[in-house]
Structure 1
Amino acid sequence: MTSVTVITGAAGGMGLAVARILGPRDALVLADVRRDRLDAAAAALADTGNPVRAVHCDVTDARAVAELFETAAGLGTLRAVVHAAGVSPSMGAADYVMATNAIGTVNVNEAFYARAGQGAAIVNVASMAAHMLPDEIVPLAAFPLAAEDPDAFLAEMTAACAVVPAEARSGFAYAISKSFVKWYSSAQSERFNGRGLRIVSISPGSVDTEMGRLEEQAGAGALVADAAVPRWGTAEEMAELMVFCVGPTAGYLTGTDILNDGGVIASIRERARRRQ
């Protein structure tokens, strides 16, 4: 039976790069909120030899996500999900950033858990920002609410973000939301394994995509310049790692986060150690 990969955030950037790699191997279901760009991405992949379906989907809408996975089920056997949908601090207010990145992750992963069969895998996109916050300011105790009571979760996250000035809250919400993605991908691994499923996250650094470049003047540019590998990462470099994570040769990989940031976090930590 045809194997199927679902890719969220597939209209551009890392999601589209993943689709270009997997198009010759799997039927693809591409999801994004940007309908025109999504249709263009699907058209560009039409010659891969496998079916390609474009589904307009807001990942914060659980019903829309369920319909996305129904489309995938109609094409064949769900093999993999690459959840690349997300927003950066420059793209909206703190509550929008938190809902998209955290609640969207729960919706996609829970739909995957409900429908996928033995051996399937999902990779979630976190961020190097998840490796920057001190543990003591991450509201970890409230993270389980995201699946139990999303409204209560968002209220708790709003309160957590209120400790920083208003102009910094979108950035703080981004870091917390990606910390949530990293936590969720670890916390759910035992549960997912009970159904023979794997769940992994990757934490990209500054990536040369439209969304990544939005943050260039907000600090990402300086981080790149001072990194062990002093350049922006490419969407293709991130995509190759994601494809590996959901592929058959990574069958022992689950419940962990892979930091793929060109050494930014390593450089920050070593410089901090030297200053002590």
Structure 2
Amino acid sequence: MSRVTVITGGAGGMGVATAKIVGQGNPVLLCDVRQDRLDDAAATMRDLGIDATAVNCDVTDRQAVDEMFRTAAGLGPVAAVVHAAGVSPAMGDAEYVLRTNAIGTLNVNEAFFASAADGGAIVNVASMAAHLMPEELIPVAAFPSALTDQKAFLADLLAACDIAGAEARSGIAYAVSKNFVKWYSSAQAERFNGRGLRIVSVSPGSVDTEMGRLEEAGGAGALVMDAAVPRWGRPEEMAELFAYCVSDKAGYLTGTDILNDGGVVASLRERARAAAATP
């Protein structure tokens, strides 16, 4: 029987690029909230001969996510999820960013945990922003409450966004939310393994997509120029990594984050070290 891959954010640049890879010989379910882009993505898949089902689903709505997974299960065993749905700081206020990136990740992963076939894998898209946030500012002590008290969890994360004034709140919320994605993908690895499942996260750098370019003026463009590889990442480069992470070839890979940022974080850290060492 065919192995189904669910791709959230499936109408975005990285989602479509991933579907083109994992959809070779197996059905894919594309999940997104923008119906116009979802229709275009589904048409692209049909033109390529890929068996794609499109579902309009808001990942912040757990009932909608559960229904989406029931639809996926109707296509065959759900063997993989690429959770690429998310928003950037330019797309909304701090609460919107936290709900979409953190609660959305929780909903998709918990639904996958409850319904996936043995041997399945999920890759969660985090961000290099999670690696750039000073460790002392990450409210990691609040992260476990996501599994028990979402109201308190969101309140604690929102409070952590108040450290630099109103204008910076969305950006801080983005970094906090992506740190949660990293934390969850590590902290839940043993629990997922108890169900025969793998879970990892990937932290892309600045990627040449519609959402990525929204942040160009907000600092992403400067970070690209500071990278060891001074260019924007391509969606296809991220997609190849996502596809590998959920494939059987990566059967020993779980509980970790893979930073795929063109060397931005490495370059910034080395420059900071060199500057601190200069008399």
TM over 0.5: yes
- State the Cα distance separating 1:83 from its structure 2 match: 0.1
Report if the CA contact (8 A) 2:186-2:200 is conserved: yes
Give 1:44 deviation, angstroms: 1.3
User: Which residue of the partner structure matches residue 246 of structure 1?
Assistant: 246
Deviations 1:25-57 (A, max 9, x none): 311110000011101111110144453111000
Q: How far apart are the structure 1 equivalents of 2:50 and 2:4?
A: 10
CA RMSD of superposed structures (Å): 0.9
d(CA) in 1 for partners of 2:90 and 2:58? 19
Normalization by structure 1: what TM-score?
A: 0.98
Alignment of 1:78-157 (within 5 A): 78-157=78-157
Q: Which moved more, 1:37-46 or 1:120-129?
A: 37-46
Deviation string 1:143-175 (CA, Å, 9 cap, x unpaired) is 011121111111111111112210000000000
Percent identity at matched positions? 70
| Cross-structure match for 1:74 | 74
Give the match for residue 59 of structure 1. Answer: 59
SS at match of 1:25: coil
Contact 1:202 1:257 in 2 (8 A): yes
The corresponding residue for 2:16 is 16
Q: CA deviation at 1:199?
A: 0.2
User: Retained in 2: the 8 A contact 1:128–1:265?
Assistant: yes
State the alpha-carbon separation in 1 of the partners of residues 221 and 76 from structure 2. 42
Select between 38-47 and 111-120 the one with higher mean Cα deviation.
Answer: 38-47
Rounded Cα–Cα distance in structure 2 between residues aligned with 1:5 and 1:228: 33
Q: What is the CA distance between 1:118 and its match in structure 2? A: 1.4
Contact 1:65-1:108 within 8 A present in 2 as well: yes
Task: Calculate the TM-score normalised by the size of structure 2.
Answer: 0.97
Q: SS of the residue aligned with 1:6?
A: strand
Report the Cα distance in structure 2 between the residues aligned to 1:48 and 1:103, rounded to whole angstroms.
33
Q: What residue identity is the alignment partner of 1:148?
A: T
One-letter amino acid of the structure 1 residue matched with residue 134 of structure 2:
P
The equivalent of 1:168 in structure 2 is 168
Amino acid at match of 2:234: T
Q: Which amino acid aligns with 1:250?
A: A
Whether contact under 8 Å (2:20, 2:50) holds in the other structure is no
Partner Cα distance (1:265, 1:25) in 2? 37
Gaps of 5+ in 1: none
TM-superposed CA distance for 1:138, in Å, is: 0.4
Give the whole-Å Cα distance in 2 for the aligned partners of 1:90 and 1:56. Answer: 22
> Which runs of structure 2 are paired with 1:195-206 in the superposition (5 Å)?
195-206=195-206
1:267 is matched with: 267
**Count of residues in correspondence between the two structures:** 276
> Which whole-Å CA distance do the structure 2 matches of 1:47 and 1:161 have between them?
44
Residue 19 of structure 2 aligns to which amino acid in structure 1? A
Aligned match of 2:232:
232
Please state how far the C-alpha of 1:215 moved relative to its aligned partner.
0.5
